[in-house]
Amino acid sequence: MKILIAEDDVANAKFLSKYLSKFGDVVITPDGIAAVDEFVNALEKGELFELVCLDIMMPKIDGYKVLASIRSAERKHGVSRMLRSKVIMTSALDEASFDSNLASDDYDDYICKPIDIMKFNDMLKKLDIIK
C-alpha cells in the first residue's frame, strides 16, 4: 500500500510515518504543491496512493486546495469514486472549525492534532485501510 503524508511539521510527519510504515510505503511531502506533485507523479505511473493524510494549514497551497487538485487528477485519470484514494484531513483546528464545505464530500474523514492514535487506528479500520 502506498501512503502519502502531506504535513509541514516534521514531528507530526515523523509520528504519522512511524505508525503508518507498518502498513505500507510512506512518502512525506512538506507543502501543498509538493503533495500534488507527488500524487500526480504516482498517478501518471499508474500507481495510486491508497491513503493520503492531508494537513490543512500547509505552506504554498493549503490542504483544501490540495484535496481539490488530487480529486481532479483522479477524475482526469479515470479513477472511479470507489477506487479513489482515502483522504484523512488533519489539523490543529477542531472539528467544528474544520470547514467541511470547502472540502465538500471529497475527503473521507477528519482528525484533530495532536493525533489520538487509538482514534486514528479506528478511523483506518472504518475506512477499510487496515483490518
| Residue numbers at the binding site for other proteins (CB under 8 A) | 8-10, 30-33, 36-37, 39-41, 44, 56-62, 65, 69-70, 72-73, 76, 92-94, 96-99
CB of 122: closest distance to other proteins in angstroms? 21
CB of 77: closest distance to other proteins in angstroms? 11
- Grid coordinates of 31: 507543502
CB of 46: closest distance to other proteins in angstroms? 14
CB of 22: closest distance to other proteins in angstroms? 26
The smaller minimum CB distance to other proteins, of residues 67 and 124, is found at 67
The smaller minimum CB distance to other proteins, of residues 49 and 98, is found at 98
